[in-house]
C-alpha cells in the first residue's frame, strides 16, 4: 500500500483517526508488557537497528553499512516475500547482494540457530524489532530521516509512529540520516548519543540524460527529488510487486519521453529477470560517522548487557 498522505501533516483526517490510534497504543502496550515478561537472552550480543517511524526512513542501508563493518549476520523478518526475490524479501535480497549473511523469518528462531554455532561469538545484527521485547537487545539504535522527523507525531493510523516519539530516549544511540534542504523540525531526547549519516546516489546515467523515475518505497518523493533531469515519475506502494503490464507501461513511457528508466535498488530486485536487463537502478552509497563505530566498539567490548 502507498504511505498515507496525512502521515506528515496534522490534517482533519489525522485528528479523526486519533481515537483509533489511542486504541492501537493501549493494545500495543499490553502486547509489549506480555512479551517483556519472557525475553530470550542471546549468547551472542544483539545489535538492533530500528525506528519509531513505520517504514521509509532508510534503515536498510544503515544495516548494510554496520553489517559490513562488523562482518555480522543479519536476522530480519523479510517483509513481502515473493518468488522474484527468492522468497526472502527485497531488503534481504539487497543485503545478500553485498555478501552479507541474511537469515529471514522468525527472528528468535534464527538467533537461537546462530547461537548454536559454537565457533562464532561475534555480534548478531537485528533489522527492526525495537518494539518487540521478546528478544533482549544489548544495543538498540533508532534511525531517523531528517526530512521526515517524527512526521505529524501521531501514532498509527493517525500518523506514522509505532510508539510515541518520546520513547526514542530508550535507545542507546540515534542515527540521523542527513538530507539536503530538509526543513522538518523535531526534537531529539537529551542524554542519547546522536550520530549522522549521509547518502549519495551513484547514477547509472549521464549528467544530462533525461530520466523517467519510478519507485515503490515508503516515500517515493525522497527518491524523485534526489535525481536530476526527471521528466516523468511513477509512484507505487511500498514493496509493490510489479506486473508485466507495469513493466510494459514504464518502458513505453520512457520511450515516449526519450529518457532512461531508473528505479531504486530495492525496487530493482523485485523486477522480473527480463526487466532487470532493461532497467537500471540508482545505487545508494551510505556514509556513517566514524565516531559511531568507535562508540559501537566500546559498547560491544563492555561486559555488562543492557536489556530493552
pLDDT per position as a tens digit, 186-206: 999 999 999 999 999 999 988
- Cβ contacts of 262 within 8 Å, gap of 6 or more: 203, 204, 205, 211, 212, 213, 214, 227, 279, 280, 281, 282
**How far is C-alpha 12 from the chain's CA centre?**
28
Radius of gyration of the chain (CA): 20
Strand runs labelled E in 82-145: 102-104, 124-127, 139-145
Question: What domains, with CATH codes, occur in the chain?
Answer: 5-200+287-301 (3.40.50.300), 202-284 (3.40.50)
pLDDT digits (tens, 9 = 90+) for 124-165: 999 999 998 999 999 999 999 999 999 999 999 999 999 999
Q: Is the pLDDT of residue 280 over 50?
A: yes
For residue 6, the 8-state DSSP code is: G
pLDDT at 22 over 80: yes
Query: Is residue 191 a contact partner of residue 210, using CB atoms and an 8 Å limit?
Result: no
Give the predicted TM-score (pTM) of the model.
Answer: 0.91
pLDDT at residue 182 in the model: 80
For 160, other C-beta atoms within 10 Å of its C-beta total 28
Closest CA to 300 of 70, 24, 50: 70
Check pLDDT > 50 for residue 307. Answer: no
Q: Would you place residue 302 in the very low, low, confident or very high pLDDT band (cuts 50, 70, 90)?
A: confident
d(CA 143, CA 49) in angstroms, rounded, equals 7
d(CA 262, CA 54): 25
Q: Which three cell numbers stand for residue 215?
A: 519507485
pLDDT digits (tens, 9 = 90+) for 65-92: 999 999 999 999 877 666 555 557 899 9
pLDDT at 303: 53
d(CA 64, CA 245): 32
* pLDDT tens by residue, 232-255: 999 999 989 999 999 999 999 999
CA–CA dist 161, 25 (Å, integer): 10
Position with higher pLDDT, 208 vs 246: 246
d(CA 251, CA 245): 10
Q: Which three cell numbers stand for residue 199?
A: 547518502
CA atoms of 151 and 3, how far apart (whole Å): 12
CB 141 within 8 A of CB 60: no
Amino acid at each position: 500500500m502507498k504511505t498515507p498522505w496525512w502521515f506528515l501533516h496534522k490534517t482533519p483526517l489525522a485528528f479523526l483517526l486519533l481515537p483509533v490510534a489511542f486504541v492501537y497504543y493501549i493494545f500495543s502496550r499490553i502486547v509489549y508488557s506480555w512479551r517483556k515478561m519472557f525475553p530470550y537472552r542471546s549468547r551472542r550480543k544483539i545489535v538492533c537497528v530500528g525506528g519509531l517511524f513505520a517504514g521509509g526512513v532508510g534503515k536498510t542501508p544503515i544495516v548494510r553499512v554496520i553489517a559490513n563493518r562488523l562482518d555480522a549476520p543479519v536476522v530480519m523478518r523479510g517483509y513481502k516475500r515473493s518468488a522474484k526475490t527468492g522468497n526472502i524479501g527485497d531488503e534481504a535480497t539487497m543485503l545478500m547482494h553485498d555478501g552479507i549473511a541474511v537469515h529471514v523469518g522468525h527472528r528468535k528462531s534464527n538467533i537461537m540457530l546462530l547461537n548454536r554455532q559454537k565457533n562464532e561469538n561475534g555480534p548478531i545484527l537485528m533489522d527492526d524489532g525495537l518494539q518487540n521485547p521478546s528478544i533482549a537487545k544489548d544495543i538498540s539504535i533508532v534511525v531517523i530521516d531528517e526530512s521526515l522527523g517524527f512526521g505529524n507525531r501521531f501514532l498509527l493510523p493517525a500518523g506514522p509512529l509505532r510508539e510515541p516519539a518520546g520513547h526514542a530516549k530508550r535507545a542507546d544511540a540515534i542515527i540521523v540520516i542527513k538530507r539536503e534542504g530538509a526543513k522538518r523540525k523535531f526534537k531529539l531526547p537529551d542524554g542519547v548519543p546522536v550520530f549522522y549519516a549521509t547518502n549519495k546516489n551513484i547514477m547509472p546515467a549521464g549528467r544530462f540524460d533525461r530520466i523517467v523515475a519510478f519507485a515503490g518505497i515508503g516515500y517515493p518523493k525522497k527518491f524523485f527529488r534526489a535525481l536530476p533531469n526527471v521528466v516523468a515519475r511513477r509512484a507505487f506502494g511500498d514493496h509493490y510487486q510489479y506486473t508485466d503490464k507495469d513493466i510494459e507501461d514504464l518502458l513505453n513511457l520512457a520511450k515516449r519521453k526519450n529518457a532512461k528508466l531508473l528505479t531504486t535498488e530495492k525496487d530493482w530486485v523485485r523486477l522480473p529477470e527480463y526487466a532487470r536487463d532493461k532497467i537500471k537502478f540508482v545505487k545508494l552509497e551510505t556514509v556513517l560517522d566514524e565516531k559511531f563505530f568507535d562508540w559501537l566498539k566500546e559498547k560491544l567490548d563492555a561486559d555488562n548487557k543492557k536489556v530493552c
